[in-house]
Each structure stands twice: as structure tokens, then as C-alpha cells.
Amino acid sequence: MRTVGWFLVSILLTALLAACGDSEFGLSCTDPALLGGTPSDLSPLYIVTVIDGVEIVAETHRMEMAYGFTSSGISEFVQTFSADLTPSQLTMVRCDDAVAGAFYNSVFYPTE
């Protein structure tokens, strides 16, 4: 019975890896969320937005536990969180159904 259980777990993990990822980082999912902006050396590296109707605090904590990162800030007003993510964490976040998009952190200066 144990062999059957491990076999099923290995099939599920293989399917998960095949379904979620990004070719840029060696994995791919069918419809990853947008990755926008220009890379910078600012920390946190990314600002992540969630889809309408998602409870941002609960979803951020769920993703932290699922993908192994710690957010550095959550904004309930604009439905975003910020975090330093590894390439594989970024891929998993972008493939999450609750995520609308991820953006490189950057500074914008007002123009006249």
C-alpha cells in the first residue's frame, strides 16, 4: 500500500511541475500572470497584485506558507504585497490563481 501512495504522490508532483512554471526559469504554466516593469536593485524586488475579490492579507499569508517567502508589506487599499522572491518563488506566485500581476519594484519621479 505504501508503494502505491508514493507512486501517486510522484505522479501528482510531476503533474504540478509540468503545469506550473515559466520557461525563463525552467518551468512553465499555461497562463502566468503578467510580469511588468524593469528590473532594479531595490528591495523588495517585486510588487504583486491580486485579482478583485481576493482578501489580500489572507492570500498573502497563504502564499508565504505555500511558496516559502516572507512579504515585506501588504497594502489592502491597492490589493498588493511586496516581497523579495527567488526566481522559482516568482514563477510559483505568477502561476497562482489569486495573482493578477507581478511588477519589478521601481521609483517613479514626477514630471512637469
71, 60 contact by CB (below 8 A)? yes
Distance CA 30, CA 18 (A): 10
pTM of the model: 0.70
Give residue limits of the domains in the chain: 30-104
Superfamily of domain 30-104: Peptidase S8 propeptide/proteinase inhibitor I9 (3.30.70.80)
pLDDT score for 10:
35
- pLDDT truncated to tens, each residue of the chain (112 aa)? 444 333 333 333 333 333 444 344 444 688 899 999 888 888 889 999 999 999 999 999 999 999 999 999 999 999 999 999 999 999 999 999 999 999 999 887 788 7
pLDDT score for 5:
37
SS3 for 12-61 is HHHHHHHHCCCHHHCCCCCCCCEEECCCCCCCCCEEEEECCCCCHHHHHH
